[in-house]
A and B are shown apart, each in its own frame.
Chain A
Amino acid sequence: MTTTAEPTTELGKARTRKEDARLITGRTRYTDAITPHGTLHMFVVRSPIAHATITSVDKSAAEAAPGVLGVFTAADLGVEAVGLPCAWPITPDMKSPQRPLLATGTVHFAGEGVAVVVARTPAEARDAADLVEIDYDPLEPVLDMEAALADGATLVHPDLGTNENATWVFDSGAAGTGGSVDEAIAAAEADPDSIVLKRRFRQQRLIPAFMEPRSCVVDPTGEQITVWAATQVPHILRTMTTVTLGVPEAKLRVIAPDVGGGFGGKIGVLPEEMLCVALAQRLNKPVKWTETRSESLLAAHHGRDQIQDITITAKKDGTVTGLDVHLLADMGAYLGLVGPGVPILGAFMFNAIYKFPALKFTCTNVFTTKTLTDAYRGAGRPEATFAIERIMDELAVELGRDPMDLRKQNWIAHEEFPFTTVVGLTYDTGNYEQATEQAMATFDYAGLRREQEERRARGDKVQLGIGISTFTEMCGLAPSRVLGSLAYGAGGWEAASIRMLATGKVEVVTGSSAHGQGHETAFSQIVADQLGVPFEDVEILHGDTQISPKGLDTYGSRSLAVGGIAIVKAADKVIAKAKKLAAHLLEASEDDIEFNAGQFTVRGTDKGKAIQELAFAAFMAHDYPEDMEPSLDAEAVYDPENFSFPHGTHLAAMEVDTETGKVALRRYVCVDDIGNVVNPLIAEGQVHGGLAQGIAQALFEEANYDDQGTLVNGTFVDYTLPSAADLPSFESSTVSTPSTSNPLGVKGVGEAGTIASTPAIVNGVIDALRHLGVTEVEMPTTSQRVWRAIQEAQGRSTQETPVDTHSPGAGLGSIDPNNPQGEVQ
Chain B
Amino acid sequence: MIPAKFDYVRPSSVDEAVAALRDAGEDAKILAGGQSLLPVLRLRLAAPSVIIDLGGIADLRRIAEDGDRIAIGAMAPHHDVMRDDLVKQHVSLLSQATATVADPQVRHRGTLGGALAHADPAGDLGAVALALDAEFVIAGASGTRTVPASEFFVDYFTTAIGEGEILTQVRFPKYTGWATHYEKFNRTAQAWSMCAVAVALRIDGGSIAEARVGLTNMGTTPIRASGVEAALVGQQANEDSARAAAEHATEGTAAPSDADAASDYREHLARVLTGRAVLAAAG
Task: Say whether A823 contacts B40, CB under 8 Å.
Answer: yes
Complex alpha-carbon distance, A294 and B5, angstroms: 20
Task: Say whether A810 contacts B102, CB under 8 Å.
Answer: yes
Interface centre among A126, A722, A726, A807 (most CB of B within 10 A): A807
Chain A, 792-824, CB within 8 A of any chain B CB = 798-815, 817, 820-824
Number of A-B contacts (CB under 8 A): 153
Inter-chain contacts of B35 with A (CB < 8 A): 811
Task: Say whether A824 contacts B29, CB under 8 Å.
Answer: yes
Complex alpha-carbon distance, A209 and B114, angstroms: 30
Chain B, 82-118, CB within 8 A of any chain A CB = 102-103, 118
Interface: A775 (CB within 8 A): no
Partner of B257, one of A130, A802, A813: A802
Task: Say whether A813 contacts B123, CB under 8 Å.
Answer: yes
Partner of B262, one of A720, A784, A806, A811: A784
Interface: B176 (CB within 8 A): no
Task: Say whether B262 contacts A804, CB under 8 Å.
Answer: no
Given A823-B40, A824-B40, A824-B157: A723 touches B262 (CB 8 Å cut-off): no
Complex alpha-carbon distance, A126 and B155, angstroms: 33
Interface: A662 (CB within 8 A): yes
Task: Say whether A809 contacts B265, CB under 8 Å.
Answer: no
Complex alpha-carbon distance, A812 and B189, angstroms: 16
Binds A, one of B64-72, B129-137, B190-198, B230-238: B190-198
Task: Say whether A808 contacts B45, CB under 8 Å.
Answer: no
Partner of B2, one of A126, A662, A783, A788: A126
Complex alpha-carbon distance, A700 and B187, angstroms: 8
Inter-chain contacts of A811 with B (CB < 8 A): 35-36, 39
Convert B31-49 into 0s and 1s, putting 1 for each residue whose CB lies closer than 8 angstroms to a CB of A: 0000111011011111000
Size band of the interface chain A makes with B: 35 or more
Q: B157 CB to closest chain A CB, in angstroms?
A: 5
Complex alpha-carbon distance, A812 and B187, angstroms: 14
Convert A113-133 into 0s and 1s, putting 1 for each residue whose CB lies closer than 8 angstroms to a CB of B: 000000000110011001000
Task: Say whether A810 contacts B269, CB under 8 Å.
Answer: no
Partner of B258, one of A725, A800, A805: A805
Interface: A503 (CB within 8 A): no
Task: Say whether A823 contacts B45, CB under 8 Å.
Answer: yes
Convert A563-576 into 0s and 1s, putting 1 for each residue whose CB lies closer than 8 angstroms to a CB of B: 00000000000000
Task: Say whether A784 contacts B29, CB under 8 Å.
Answer: no
Convert B248-264 into 0s and 1s, putting 1 for each residue whose CB lies closer than 8 angstroms to a CB of A: 00000000111111111
Inter-chain contacts of A805 with B (CB < 8 A): 257-259
Chain B residue with the shortest CB-CB distance to A780: B187
Inter-chain contacts of B121 with A (CB < 8 A): 813-814
Interface: A420 (CB within 8 A): no
Inter-chain contacts of B128 with A (CB < 8 A): none
Inter-chain contacts of B256 with A (CB < 8 A): 814
Partner of B188, one of A700, A815, A821: A700
Given A823-B46, A823-B157, A824-B157: A807 touches B261 (CB 8 Å cut-off): yes
Partner of A788, one of B43, B123, B188, B265: B265
Main secondary structure of the interface of A (DSSP, over half): loop
Partner of B185, one of A660, A788, A823: A660
Inter-chain contacts of B36 with A (CB < 8 A): 811-813
Task: Say whether A723 contacts B187, CB under 8 Å.
Answer: no
Interface: B217 (CB within 8 A): yes
Task: Say whether B122 contacts A808, CB under 8 Å.
Answer: yes
Task: Say whether B120 contacts A784, CB under 8 Å.
Answer: no
Interface: A787 (CB within 8 A): yes
Chain B, 173-225, CB within 8 A of any chain A CB = 185-194, 217, 220
Complex alpha-carbon distance, A799 and B102, angstroms: 29
Chain A residue with the shortest CB-CB distance to B191: A809
Interface: A231 (CB within 8 A): no
Convert B13-30 into 0s and 1s, putting 1 for each residue whose CB lies closer than 8 angstroms to a CB of A: 000000000000010010
Interface: B58 (CB within 8 A): no
Partner of A800, one of B1, B29, B158, B262: B262
Task: Say whether B189 contacts A726, CB under 8 Å.
Answer: yes
Complex alpha-carbon distance, A783 and B5, angstroms: 41
Task: Say whether A822 contacts B156, CB under 8 Å.
Answer: yes
Q: B51 CB to closest chain A CB, in angstroms?
A: 13
Chain B, 141-172, CB within 8 A of any chain A CB = 155-158
Partner of B190, one of A662, A715, A723: A723
Task: Say whether B260 contacts A784, CB under 8 Å.
Answer: yes
Inter-chain contacts of B1 with A (CB < 8 A): 292
Q: A462 CB to closest chain B CB, in angstroms?
A: 12
Chain A, 289-313, CB within 8 A of any chain B CB = 292, 294
Q: B22 CB to closest chain A CB, in angstroms?
A: 17
Chain A residue with the shortest CB-CB distance to B263: A799
Task: Say whether A784 contacts B2, CB under 8 Å.
Answer: no
Interface: A718 (CB within 8 A): yes
Task: Say whether B194 contacts A822, CB under 8 Å.
Answer: no
Chain A residue with the shortest CB-CB distance to B1: A292
Inter-chain contacts of A823 with B (CB < 8 A): 40, 45-46, 157
Given A814-B121, A814-B217: A725 touches B190 (CB 8 Å cut-off): yes
Given A807-B194, A823-B157: A704 touches B40 (CB 8 Å cut-off): no
Q: B162 CB to closest chain A CB, in angstroms?
A: 13
Given A784-B265, A824-B29, A824-B157: A704 touches B259 (CB 8 Å cut-off): yes
Task: Say whether A809 contacts B45, CB under 8 Å.
Answer: no
Interface: B4 (CB within 8 A): yes
Partner of A726, one of B120, B188, B192: B188
Interface centre among A123, A662, A811, A823 (most CB of B within 10 A): A811
Inter-chain contacts of B280 with A (CB < 8 A): none
Chain B residue with the shortest CB-CB distance to A43: B2
Inter-chain contacts of B263 with A (CB < 8 A): 799
Complex alpha-carbon distance, A798 and B269, angstroms: 14
Inter-chain contacts of B185 with A (CB < 8 A): 660, 662, 783
Complex alpha-carbon distance, A788 and B46, angstroms: 37
Q: B236 CB to closest chain A CB, in angstroms?
A: 22
Complex alpha-carbon distance, A127 and B4, angstroms: 7
Given A809-B187, A812-B39, A814-B192: A784 touches B261 (CB 8 Å cut-off): yes
Complex alpha-carbon distance, A788 and B269, angstroms: 12
Interface: A4 (CB within 8 A): no
Complex alpha-carbon distance, A803 and B29, angstroms: 33
Complex alpha-carbon distance, A810 and B256, angstroms: 18
Interface: B272 (CB within 8 A): yes
Complex alpha-carbon distance, A808 and B194, angstroms: 7
Inter-chain contacts of A821 with B (CB < 8 A): 156
Complex alpha-carbon distance, A823 and B103, angstroms: 23
Task: Say whether B2 contacts A810, CB under 8 Å.
Answer: no
Interface: A527 (CB within 8 A): no
Inter-chain contacts of B103 with A (CB < 8 A): 723, 725
Q: A739 CB to closest chain B CB, in angstroms?
A: 38
Q: B6 CB to closest chain A CB, in angstroms?
A: 12
Complex alpha-carbon distance, A718 and B192, angstroms: 11
Complex alpha-carbon distance, A272 and B273, angstroms: 49
Inter-chain contacts of B5 with A (CB < 8 A): 123, 127
Task: Say whether B45 contacts A722, CB under 8 Å.
Answer: no
Inter-chain contacts of A808 with B (CB < 8 A): 120, 122, 186, 191-194, 217, 258, 260
Convert B239-283 into 0s and 1s, putting 1 for each residue whose CB lies closer than 8 angstroms to a CB of A: 000000000000000001111111111001100110000000000
Inter-chain contacts of B186 with A (CB < 8 A): 808
Interface: A825 (CB within 8 A): yes
Minimum-distance CB pairs A-B, first 4: A813-B120, A808-B122, A725-B189, A807-B260
A-B contacts, 22 of them at CB < 8 A, read: A292-B1, A659-B272, A721-B188, A723-B103, A723-B189, A799-B265, A801-B262, A805-B259, A807-B258, A808-B192, A808-B193, A809-B188, A809-B191, A810-B191, A811-B36, A811-B39, A812-B43, A814-B120, A814-B258, A815-B45, A822-B156, A824-B29
Enumerate chain A interface residues (CB-CB to B < 8 A).
Answer: 122-123, 126-127, 130, 292, 294, 659-660, 662, 700, 704, 712, 715, 717-718, 720-723, 725-726, 782-784, 787-788, 798-815, 817, 820-825
Supply 4 further A-B pairs (C-beta < 8 A) apart from A127-B2, A659-B272, A822-B158: A123-B2, A723-B188, A787-B265, A824-B118
